[in-house]
Amino acid sequence: MKLKFYILWFSLGLVACKGFTGEKTDLSFIEQPVGANELVALIPIQPPLSGFMTLSDVCAGFDELLYVVDAGNEEIKSFDQSGRLLGTLKLRGVTQVVQTRNLDLLAAGRLDTFINGTLFSLPTIYRIRLINGSLYGLAHAIIQNKVVHPLYFRTSVSATDTAVSFRDIGVLADNSYYVVRNGNNNAISQIGGPEDNILKFSGADVFLSPVNVQTQAGLYADYFRRPLSLATRAQPPQSPIINASGDFIVGMADPGAAFKLQYIRYISTNDGASYEVQTSFLTADYTKADGAAGQPNRFARPVAVTITGDGSNLVFVADQDKDSVYQFLLNGLEGVTPPPGAESNRYVKISFGGTGSGLTQFRQPSALAWLNKTLYVADVGNGRVCRYKLSTDFR
């Protein structure tokens, strides 16, 4: 078994020396990353994507392209899976991007506008249409609509609204979407609810409601404390049987919360719809795995989360304070199923990271994406988008 894995590792090194685009890359790739001698590991693919001023997001598109936000240059860039740059779009204050199933982009940025003679810089979600007649892509994109805070739920604007930000966006199968909103005013009684919240919009960009969570202790309008990241079950690739649930996983930064990563279930009945915490996600079964998402205080700042949509049902989480990427299953247990012939049937841990600039190290990872069995990590401090594949996917 070990001999087979060493042959795999050596072969991978020879292939990777040319890189996806055919150029010769640094032979230091032969250096074994952390986890290379394990039964299953995430293997770095060289070269990483680079040339960014300040990374903030990476998104796998339903068009099977990769979208990267360079917040420092206020740009969205599109790449094919070989790493070739296809297009660039300038957008004021852009920090996040996601693609809907009808191939529009939703991007969180800012809008500078005069209201009653006063200049405001307001958080805005831009709908960007990539289909322009017979043309397609960022080079031909047009801004089709804007969702401007707070004008989607009230007509007046105050100076405090400029302190609000949209942190993340999660698209559902019907093209409706959730938005993670952060702010300083979290009074429950105010119009629109607490600024720290998750909001739901229709596929036509109409505000529907904030997400209130039902627990055994009652219904909470302020359940989400300092939410940072969100991932729905509707993920690429495009498919007629894509997961149509309204469930999502949310990452929060509340220092007082022991469980900063939670699975929220959307439940629809004849009496209406509700959101509930899936407690089984927080229940650790250490007879099957060495770790779990439900370990108290497992995370410090889970700034990014993604769920694979290819049927593997993997969950990846980036913790910015720990400079690490963690992997779980939808049952909350850490690790992946061992390959055939393994001595044990316990899940194999493939979480990795640590502070540094090595192939399996990060400095403030900020975003994650999964496309064609490849994990993409936006490594902000090192100015690169790293790429990884499971060693078992090369066999």
Alpha-carbon distance of 173 to 86, in angstroms, equals 26
- Band of pLDDT at residue 119, cut at 50, 70 and 90: very high
- Can you give the pTM of this predicted structure? 0.89
Q: What is the CATH number of the domain that holds 157?
A: 2.120.10.30
Give start and end residues of each alpha helix (H) in the chain: 2-16
pLDDT value of residue 39: 80
Distances (CA, A) of 93 to 105, 123, 138, 344: 15, 9, 17, 50
Question: How far lies 72's CA from each of 120, 127, 303, in Å?
Answer: 21, 21, 18
How many structural domains does the chain have?
A: 1
Q: How high is the pLDDT of residue 234? A: 98
The pLDDT of residue 21: 34
Looking at residues 73-95, what average pLDDT do you find? 97
Provide the pLDDT for residue 376. 98
In the block, tokens 């009652």 appear at 218
DSSP string for 326-374: EEEETTSBBSBPPPTT-S--SPBP--EE-BSSSTT-BSSEEEEEEETTE
Q: What are phi and psi of 162, to 5 degrees?
A: -70, -15
CA gap 255, 297 in Å, rounded: 9
Q: What is the pLDDT of residues 140-160, one digit of tens each?
A: 999 999 999 999 999 999 999
Host domain of residue 347: 2-394
Does position 28 have pLDDT exceeding 50, yes or no?
no
Q: Which of the four pLDDT bands, split at 50, 70 and 90, describes residue 343?
A: confident
What is the number of residues in the chain?
395
Q: What digits encode the pLDDT tens for the residues 353-382?
A: 999 999 999 999 999 999 999 999 999 999
The confidence score (pLDDT) of residue 339 equals: 84
Average pLDDT for residues 45-70, to the nearest whole number? 97
Residue with tokens 């982009």: 105
Q: At residue 173, does pLDDT exceed 70?
A: yes
Query: Residue 32 above 90 pLDDT?
Result: no
Whether 33 has a pLDDT exceeding 50, the answer reads no
Q: Residue 13 — very low, low, confident or very high, per pLDDT cuts 50/70/90?
A: very low
Looking at every residue in the chain, the average pLDDT score rounds to 90
